[in-house]
Structure 1
């Protein structure tokens, strides 16, 4: 019953099926009257088991009272009811079974059911309930200890004493040791992990076999749960492992935090002497698994050493980690909380303090943090938390960086004007040309204050870019269902174009592009530049946001206008002298091959779906990139989506599968996969921190989000074997999606 979900299929009429999904926890924890629209309890408050038949009433509203005007009991005098009763008895083992005879009987029963549904006057709802081995009994919370005579003597106290729910015919046994520690296991653990062995453990060195076993444990992914034996092994060699930074998170998982003495040694003795962990390990310690405040404070101390640029890369996840930090703080005891309220313990910082302090001294970091917090203030569960974070941020900014406060207020007004106008135009019934005219007239109007700014404005989308106004005549409205706006901003040097969207939640796109930027950085650190184009995306609310506009063409448009992608690149950057590069400048073709390899790998790892020729784009200089990330983590609206997206048009632009450029493309794919596989823990930890974010494809299955990406890294096999498996996927999917791309193109052509 641990979290399993059972489906109860109810058949009403021959052609209608209703699926009701109820968790066993709901069946146990909720009052029975909550589910009485589905089932009924018997006289002992036991949940019915097996198949149940309920009468349906046409054109009558259900009467929940007793006695009811719409009773749920069907006619039990029919032949079907008699057979149903016998079937239940057989299911409970009260009647003998015979396989061949039971098969014939069930077929006959099915025919009778069908005949009754087609010709019977009354409709019957048949529900298959779980057949529990023991009775499932509903019970209210345990009553407070009080004598029944109190109610008789003092009737006024009846409101304060809960009446017993036990019927005379039902006996319950409360196991007082049910939630207690297993004394045998506890004794074994204390013997194995005895604190009196510290002196021996400090000098303990593993044998070659144990060292290999420890090494295999350290290679476990973050999602792996340690067994009791593995926890004991790590604890036994905890002093030896302090020299291995990668062992930190495994050690923290091996600590029995309910043991105060063991927890004290872990936080006060071992953590301070541990080798400096990697940033990926510090991020893991900020996740929901680690609740001890000293452990989280240790992780924050490690983050202090990160540069502002590194914090920007991980800021989206760090904002989400504030939720886990708050939950851990609430669950902590008074002694742990005192560490954060006492001035003596200034070396135990909270994550929110670090982020606010660093934001006050870096305008880019402060701008990003402000907008991330602004969106989270709309969260139903954690909105109050982020209201406090917002207040703390502005208090610190007002004290240490007043100009940034003014800039953020100007950004907020700028975004409000654009998103409100986008909403107005989207709701307008005007044709697109009329919408464009209205937009340009509104932007050019002096009253809006957008034509020019008295002082440059830092763009929320890219705080390093400062603009001095908008170019009304070059702004337009896209041809799309949501009619997003394309606003051209005039910068100090170059123009910067943004797309303003209303009615679209961009938080999933924002996450994907942030991970793209991170992977690009990881590849560049390995001296591998795959020409990734991680354009900027910023959600300014759950239904509004900005997207950086990159001048480009969709693959479908380029093929339709120029015949193929080579023709498009040749028209922009020709080289008549170089037949080896298909008369395209060598640098442009190299950029195309590299960017194709990069996006094939990173979209495979994140399980990006709904890939078709309209959301694959190519810039004039050969940069190939993806847009529109409404489907990730393996979700796809099309059947049988290829795990690696390599369309025919991409391969043809490289000269075909036998060309030297395609061979180079595959080699770059393998190298990129191996490089990112080495950093799998960092990527998995970042995704794990997003489980409480309101990201649609993570919210659908939050417990499986990290595992889906982990499977793509193939961490259970050797590097050589993983490359071979990836090579097989790459070869199989080069042309598999061609048919679906053609169907999508035809559908787009006939779309009104």
Structure 2
């Protein structure tokens, strides 16, 4: 009975009787090695924190418990333990020892976790984030922009604004004036790009005017851009702090024809190198940012378990609720454009004419593996509105998805296929009877089981975002709802992980999902999409 309770997912309720049982066997669970290490989060949920004696004993037991991992630490920082300082500080102590990359991978959630503290400006978690930011340019960059968008929160924005001010003041106290200046330059650049993008959006025939504007910027003729690009100091790109830029190449500027009129920019990183990114206004990129973060996490989990499925988790940064950057993956081509003229296999062979037979097989394996990875991930996350214009392919065979406006089972299309697998993908793997397609099915099943084993991490990344105001997580739920109601949309992920199944049962289930998807007339949906787009 205890083991069954401990194995429950973070989203599963713990009954009154189960809480009583956890409390009764609290000392056994603390010392028990087999299930005790994973029992702490469940035990802490059994505590009535309003009873002083019970709270003190729980806090004392917690200190002697086996050290928890990062997924459990995230759960202890969630809304389940809002204002419970002893629990939250225990989680912070776990995160203190986490390496930079682990902090970066969950920083988006840690910023949201601040809203559940008694005072986000002075709590232990706030201190930890400042300490990590002092030591890492990557953390300081991402922390600033995550806080900047949190400042727009209608309920907690004032507190986030005060905390961001404390972060900036701390840099000054620590003599890190260059960090403050860099963030100010980034902010000024984003503001200026928003103005140019708005001009391009409201003036439909403005492409040449916008390009001319960037020519003037490159020649240092626009006063509003003074100090952003400096001759003796490159600017860290907000989207990717590993990249330093010193200008925008005006010849590489493109304005897309879609309603949002986003700009593709070529940032110069050296006299001969550029970094391509899209800047857009009028769209909320926070949901794309979250999904890409979770895809990145899943990619790391799979690689740590020996599966490199050739995923392409490009970077996304929301700079505000209506503006932000997306990394351009170049070269890449939409599926729709490819299959208008030739098959996927023919296109890949055309792109790799000088490759040896072995190298060409590697390209085709990249296609098969990336198909498997994205099929499983988009299924688990309930990614909707899939069509052949938002599935792209690189010349080296890596398939990837863009545009995550519909998640967690939401989809504007009636009766969407369970998995995003179309006939052209199957043919690109050699057909449903080929050895490569059999490998595709095997990879799907293996990836599915690996990700199921790490369900705590995946679910906790979502749980900490329930009050962030992200559309599909908030969908149909009021801000004053009980926590159980707020988690309803996230339950889609838990349901698709089928945590009640054994590994063998999960393999059979995934095979059935693939079979059902093969039978779905995916192409019909794409014809409908293009027809609808024609009349927009």
Give the TM-score, by structure 2 length.
Answer: 0.92
Partner SS state of residue 461, structure 2 = helix
Conserved? CA contact 2:214–2:248, under 8 Å: no
Task: Find the counterpart in structure 1 of residue 265 from structure 2.
Answer: 487
Conserved? CA contact 1:559–1:565, under 8 Å: yes
Conserved? CA contact 2:200–2:206, under 8 Å: no
Task: Find the counterpart in structure 1 of residue 480 from structure 2.
Answer: none
Shift of 1:214: 1.3
Task: Find the counterpart in structure 1 of residue 388 from structure 2.
Answer: 613
Task: Find the counterpart in structure 2 of residue 263 from structure 1.
Answer: 55
Distance of 2:312 and 2:80 partners within structure 1: 34
Residue in structure 2 matching 1:707, options 466, 471, 491: 491
Shift of 1:440: 4.5
Q: String of CA shifts for 1:469-501, please: whole Å, max 9, x gaps.
A: 211112111121111111101114731011010
Q: Find out whether 1:290 has 2:81 as its counterpart.
A: yes
Distance of 2:216 and 2:375 partners within structure 1: 42
Q: Find out whether 1:279 has 2:60 as its counterpart.
A: no
Q: Find out whether 1:717 has 2:506 as its counterpart.
A: no
Residue in structure 1 matching 2:360, options 581, 585, 588: 585
Residue in structure 1 matching 2:139, options 359, 365, 371: 365
Q: Find out whether 1:319 has 2:104 as its counterpart.
A: no
Unaligned runs of 5+ in 1: 1-212, 331-339, 342-348
Q: Find out whether 1:566 has 2:341 as its counterpart.
A: no
Q: Find out whether 1:250 has 2:61 as its counterpart.
A: no
Q: String of CA shifts for 1:475-529, please: whole Å, max 9, x gaps.
A: 1111211111111011147310110101111001000101011111111110111
Partner SS state of residue 313, structure 2 = coil
Shift of 1:443: 4.2
Partner SS state of residue 465, structure 1 = strand
Shift of 1:435: 5.1
Distance of 1:256 and 1:216 partners within structure 2: 21
Q: String of CA shifts for 1:299-352, please: whole Å, max 9, x gaps.
A: 1111111111101000111111111124xx59xxxxxxxxx98xxxxxxx6211
Shift of 1:455: 1.3
Conserved? CA contact 2:112–2:465, under 8 Å: yes
Distance of 2:209 and 2:394 partners within structure 1: 28
Partner SS state of residue 655, structure 1 = coil
Shift of 1:569: 0.9
Alignment of 1:337-736 (within 5 A): 350-400=124-174, 401-428=176-203, 430-431=204-205, 433-434=207-208, 437-448=211-222, 449=225, 453-492=231-270, 494-551=273-330, 552-561=332-341, 563-574=342-353, 578=357, 585-700=360-475, 701=477, 702-736=486-520
Conserved? CA contact 1:280–1:682, under 8 Å: yes
Shift of 1:230: 1.4
Partner SS state of residue 510, structure 2 = helix
Conserved? CA contact 1:452–1:470, under 8 Å: no
Q: String of CA shifts for 1:231-290, please: whole Å, max 9, x gaps.
A: 22212221121142200001101122232212111112x011100111111100001111
Structure that is richer in helix per residue: 2
Conserved? CA contact 2:426–2:437, under 8 Å: yes
Distance of 1:743 and 1:263 partners within structure 2: 58
Residue in structure 2 matching 1:744, options 523, 529, 532: 529
Alignment of 1:181-330 (within 5 A): 213-243=1-31, 244-268=36-60, 270-291=61-82, 292-326=84-118
Distance of 1:452 and 1:532 partners within structure 2: 36
Distance of 2:419 and 2:76 partners within structure 1: 32
Conserved? CA contact 2:134–2:171, under 8 Å: yes
Conserved? CA contact 1:443–1:451, under 8 Å: no
Distance of 2:94 and 2:356 partners within structure 1: 55
Change in CA separation of 1:438 and 1:427 when aligned onto 2, cut-off 3 Å? farther
Conserved? CA contact 1:320–1:689, under 8 Å: yes
Distance of 1:567 and 1:609 partners within structure 2: 28
Distance of 2:327 and 2:183 partners within structure 1: 19
Kindly tell me the number of residue pairs found equivalent between the two proteins: 514
Partner SS state of residue 491, structure 1 = strand
Distance of 2:366 and 2:501 partners within structure 1: 32
Shift of 1:723: 2.1
Q: String of CA shifts for 1:519-563, please: whole Å, max 9, x gaps.
A: 1111111011111111010011111101101121000011124x1
Distance of 1:734 and 1:436 partners within structure 2: 46
Distance of 1:435 and 1:654 partners within structure 2: 45
Change in CA separation of 1:431 and 1:704 when aligned onto 2, cut-off 3 Å? same
Change in CA separation of 1:235 and 1:459 when aligned onto 2, cut-off 3 Å? same
Please tell me the root mean square deviation across aligned C-alpha atoms, in Å.
Answer: 2.0
Distance of 1:629 and 1:485 partners within structure 2: 19
Partner SS state of residue 267, structure 1 = helix
Q: String of CA shifts for 1:144-175, please: whole Å, max 9, x gaps.
A: xxxxxxxxxxxxxxxxxxxxxxxxxxxxxxxx
Q: Which has the higher contact order (CA 8 A, sep 6+)?
A: 2
Distance of 2:495 and 2:202 partners within structure 1: 43
Partner SS state of residue 264, structure 2 = strand
Shift of 1:229: 2.0
Larger Rg: 1
Conserved? CA contact 1:451–1:471, under 8 Å: no
Conserved? CA contact 1:476–1:486, under 8 Å: yes
Distance of 1:747 and 1:706 partners within structure 2: 30
Shift of 1:356: 1.2
Give the TM-score, by structure 1 length.
Answer: 0.66
Distance of 1:276 and 1:383 partners within structure 2: 34
Partner SS state of residue 222, structure 1 = coil
Distance of 1:469 and 1:287 partners within structure 2: 41
Partner SS state of residue 446, structure 1 = coil
Change in CA separation of 1:634 and 1:357 when aligned onto 2, cut-off 3 Å? same
Shift of 1:452: 6.8
Partner SS state of residue 370, structure 2 = helix
Distance of 1:253 and 1:555 partners within structure 2: 48
Distance of 1:481 and 1:597 partners within structure 2: 32
Distance of 1:611 and 1:418 partners within structure 2: 30
